[in-house]
Chain A
Amino acid sequence: MMQETISFTPQLAASPIAGLLWLIPALPMVASGVIALLKQPRRKISATLSIGSLSFSLLLSLVAFGHVLAGWSHGAAVRETVNFTWIQFGSVHVDLGWVLDPLSAVMLVMVSLVGLLIFIYSVGYMEHYENFTRFFCFMSLFAGAMLGVVIANSLLLLFMCWEIVGLTSYLLIGFWYQKPAAAAAAKKAFITTRVGDIFFLLGIVWLFAQTGTLLFYNGGAGSLEAGALSGLLAQPAALGLTAAGAIGLLIFAGAAGKSGQLPLHVWLPDAMEGPTPVSALIHAATMVAAGVYLIARVYPLMQAGALTGGTTAALTVVTWVGAATAVFAALIAVAQNDIKRILAYSTISQLGYMMAGLGMGGVAVGMFHLITHAFFKSLLFLGAGSVIHGCHGEQDIRKMGGLRSDMPLTFATYAVGMLALCGFPLFFSGFWSKDGILEAALHWSVARTPLYLLVFGALLTAFYMTRQVAYVFFGYWRGSKPADESPAVMTLPLVILAGFAMGLGFIGTPAWPWFSGFLESRAVVFNLHGFLEPGLLALMGISTLIVFLGLGLGLMLYGGQSPKPEEPDVLEQAAPVVWGWLRDRLYVDELYGVTVIAFYAWWGRVADWLDRRVWGGAVTGVAWVFRGWAQFNRLLDLNWVDGGFDKGCEELASGGGLLSRVQTGRVQTYLKILALAVALLAAILIWSSRA
Chain B
Amino acid sequence: MTPLAGFLLVAALLFSIGLAGALTRRNAILVLIGIELMLNAANLNLIAFWRYGPHPEALTGMMFAIFSIAVAAAEAAVGLGLVIHLHRHAHTTDLDAMNRMRG
User: Do A and B form a real pair?
Assistant: yes
Q: Which residues of B contact A660 (CB under 8 A)?
A: 102-103
Please name the residue on chain B nearest to A672 by beta carbon.
Answer: B23
Q: Which residues of A contact B100 (CB under 8 A)?
A: 665
Chain A CB within 8 A of B2 CB: no
- B43 CB to closest chain A CB (Å) equals 18
Q: Are B98 and A666 in contact (CB under 8 A)?
A: yes
B-facing mask of A659-678, CB < 8 A → 1, else 0?
A: 11111111110011001000
Please name the residue on chain A nearest to B101 by beta carbon.
Answer: A665
- A681 CB to closest chain B CB (Å) equals 15
Q: Are A663 and B95 in contact (CB under 8 A)?
A: no
Q: Which of B19, B22, B24, B95 contacts A666 (CB 8 A)?
A: B95
Q: Which residues of A contact B22 (CB under 8 A)?
A: 668, 671
Q: Are B102 and A663 in contact (CB under 8 A)?
A: yes
- A680 CB to closest chain B CB (Å) equals 14
- Report how many residues on chain B are interfacial, defined by Cβ distance under 8 Å: 13
Chain A CB within 8 A of B96 CB: yes
Q: Are A662 and B95 in contact (CB under 8 A)?
A: no
B-facing mask of A32-62, CB < 8 A → 1, else 0?
A: 0000000000000000000000000000000
- How far does the alpha carbon of A661 sit from the alpha carbon of B99 in the complex, in Å? 12
Q: Which residues of B contact A672 (CB under 8 A)?
A: 23
Q: Which residues of B contact A662 (CB under 8 A)?
A: 103
- How far does the alpha carbon of A663 sit from the alpha carbon of B31 in the complex, in Å? 20
Q: Are B102 and A665 in contact (CB under 8 A)?
A: yes
- How far does the alpha carbon of A665 sit from the alpha carbon of B101 in the complex, in Å? 4
- A325 CB to closest chain B CB (Å) equals 84
- B33 CB to closest chain A CB (Å) equals 14
- A664 CB to closest chain B CB (Å) equals 6
Q: Which of B19, B23, B98 contacts A665 (CB 8 A)?
A: B98
Please name the residue on chain B nearest to A676 by beta carbon.
Answer: B23
A675 with B19: in contact, given A666-B96, A667-B95 (CB under 8 Å)? yes
- How far does the alpha carbon of A530 sit from the alpha carbon of B50 in the complex, in Å? 108
Q: Are B103 and A663 in contact (CB under 8 A)?
A: yes
- B39 CB to closest chain A CB (Å) equals 14
Interface band, chain A: 10 to 19
- B13 CB to closest chain A CB (Å) equals 15
B-facing mask of A640-670, CB < 8 A → 1, else 0?
A: 0000000000000000000111111111100
Q: Are A665 and B103 in contact (CB under 8 A)?
A: yes
Q: Which residues of B contact A664 (CB under 8 A)?
A: 99, 102-103
A667 with B98: in contact, given A672-B23, A675-B19, A675-B23 (CB under 8 Å)? yes
Question: Which of A117-169 touch B at CB < 8 Å?
Answer: none
Q: Which residues of A contact B102 (CB under 8 A)?
A: 660, 663-666
A663 with B101: in contact, given A668-B31, A668-B95 (CB under 8 Å)? yes
Please name the residue on chain A nearest to B26 by beta carbon.
Answer: A668
Q: Which residues of B contact A659 (CB under 8 A)?
A: 103
- How far does the alpha carbon of A664 sit from the alpha carbon of B31 in the complex, in Å? 18
Q: Are B99 and A668 in contact (CB under 8 A)?
A: no
- How far does the alpha carbon of A159 sit from the alpha carbon of B36 in the complex, in Å? 75
Q: Which residues of B contact A671 (CB under 8 A)?
A: 22-23
Q: Which residues of A contact B31 (CB under 8 A)?
A: 667-668
Q: Which residues of B contact A663 (CB under 8 A)?
A: 101-103
- How far does the alpha carbon of A176 sit from the alpha carbon of B96 in the complex, in Å? 77
Q: Which residues of B contact A666 (CB under 8 A)?
A: 95-96, 98-99, 102
- How far does the alpha carbon of A668 sit from the alpha carbon of B24 in the complex, in Å? 8
- A31 CB to closest chain B CB (Å) equals 56
- How far does the alpha carbon of A668 sit from the alpha carbon of B22 in the complex, in Å? 7
- How far does the alpha carbon of A660 sit from the alpha carbon of B103 in the complex, in Å? 4
Q: Which residues of A contact B19 (CB under 8 A)?
A: 675
Please name the residue on chain B nearest to A659 by beta carbon.
Answer: B103
- How far does the alpha carbon of A488 sit from the alpha carbon of B100 in the complex, in Å? 85
Q: Are A661 and B103 in contact (CB under 8 A)?
A: yes
Please name the residue on chain A nearest to B24 by beta carbon.
Answer: A668
Q: Which residues of A contact B96 (CB under 8 A)?
A: 666
- How far does the alpha carbon of A690 sit from the alpha carbon of B98 in the complex, in Å? 43
- A358 CB to closest chain B CB (Å) equals 82
Q: Which residues of B contact A667 (CB under 8 A)?
A: 31, 95, 98
Q: Which has the most chain A C-beta neighbours within 10 Å: B24, B96, B100, B102?
A: B102
- How far does the alpha carbon of A15 sit from the alpha carbon of B19 in the complex, in Å? 82
Question: Which of B53-103 touch A at CB < 8 Å?
Answer: 95-96, 98-103
- How far does the alpha carbon of A668 sit from the alpha carbon of B103 in the complex, in Å? 15
- How far does the alpha carbon of A572 sit from the alpha carbon of B102 in the complex, in Å? 101
- How far does the alpha carbon of A666 sit from the alpha carbon of B19 in the complex, in Å? 16
Q: Which residues of A contact B101 (CB under 8 A)?
A: 663, 665
- A676 CB to closest chain B CB (Å) equals 10
- How far does the alpha carbon of A662 sit from the alpha carbon of B103 in the complex, in Å? 7
- How far does the alpha carbon of A660 sit from the alpha carbon of B101 in the complex, in Å? 10
- B32 CB to closest chain A CB (Å) equals 11
Please name the residue on chain A nearest to B97 by beta carbon.
Answer: A666
- How far does the alpha carbon of A671 sit from the alpha carbon of B35 in the complex, in Å? 11
Q: Which residues of A contact B95 (CB under 8 A)?
A: 666-668
- How far does the alpha carbon of A664 sit from the alpha carbon of B23 in the complex, in Å? 14
Q: Which residues of B contact A675 (CB under 8 A)?
A: 19, 23
Q: Which has the most chain A C-beta neighbours within 10 Å: B96, B100, B101?
A: B101
Q: Which residues of A contact B98 (CB under 8 A)?
A: 665-667
- How far does the alpha carbon of A664 sit from the alpha carbon of B97 in the complex, in Å? 11
Q: Which residues of B contact A661 (CB under 8 A)?
A: 103
Q: Which residues of A contact B24 (CB under 8 A)?
A: 668
Q: A664-B102, A665-B100, A668-B24 are in contact. List 8 more A-B contacts (CB 8 A).
A: A660-B102, A663-B103, A666-B95, A668-B22, A668-B23, A668-B31, A671-B23, A672-B23
24 inter-chain pairs at a CB distance below 8 angstroms, sorted by A residue, are: A660-B102, A660-B103, A662-B103, A663-B101, A663-B103, A664-B99, A664-B102, A664-B103, A665-B98, A665-B101, A665-B102, A666-B95, A667-B31, A667-B95, A667-B98, A668-B22, A668-B23, A668-B24, A668-B31, A668-B95, A671-B22, A671-B23, A672-B23, A675-B23
Which are the 8 A-B pairs with shortest beta-carbon distances? Answer: A660-B103, A663-B103, A665-B102, A665-B99, A665-B101, A666-B99, A672-B23, A664-B102
